[in-house]
């Protein structure tokens, strides 16, 4: 199990606390420092069953500067979204937990983190 975190994020800290409390075996990836590649983002999206715009923090200043709210959300623009996430990792929703069964969850709630633990 791997968890992508921003240590400054309270949701990330809560997820880590829950994983620790449950004795989970996991690896921390500080994704702002160890930035995921476009291929890694695509792989996580596949595991999540989501599209890149589903995990984009469109309220962030960088997203607003890029005008992402106006970007089309379709297959033709998918690579553009993935590229933006790789170039601006702060825009990636967090935390993302990759479970042992090759799925993943966005662990923003206790329920989502427990879901990842059960896989």
Q: What's the rounded Cα separation, in Å, for the pair 85 and 51?
A: 12
Map tokens 């879901």 to a residue.
115
Query: CA 33, 39, 18: angle at the middle one, nearest 5?
Result: 55
Q: What's the rounded Cα separation, in Å, for the pair 83 and 53?
A: 12
Write out the H or E segment, with its range, that includes residue 29.
strand 27-30
Write out the H or E segment, with its range, that includes residue 3.
strand 2-5
Which positions are annotated as active-site residues? Answer: 9
């Amino acid at each position: 199990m791997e968890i992508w975190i921003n240590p400054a994020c309270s949701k990330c800290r809560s997820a880590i606390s829950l994983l620790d409390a449950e004795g989970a075996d996991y690896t921390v990836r500080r994704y702002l420092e160890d930035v995921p590649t476009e291929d890694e983002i695509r792989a996580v999206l596949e595991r999540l069953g989501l599209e890149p715009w589903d995990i984009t923090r469109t309220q962030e200043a960088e997203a607003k500067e890029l005008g992402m709210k106006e970007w089309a959300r379709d297959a033709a623009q998918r690579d553009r979204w993935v590229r933006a996430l790789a170039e601006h990792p702060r825009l990636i929703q967090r935390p993302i937990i990759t479970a042992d069964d090759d799925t993943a969850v966005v662990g923003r709630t206790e329920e989502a983190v427990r879901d990842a633990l059960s896989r």
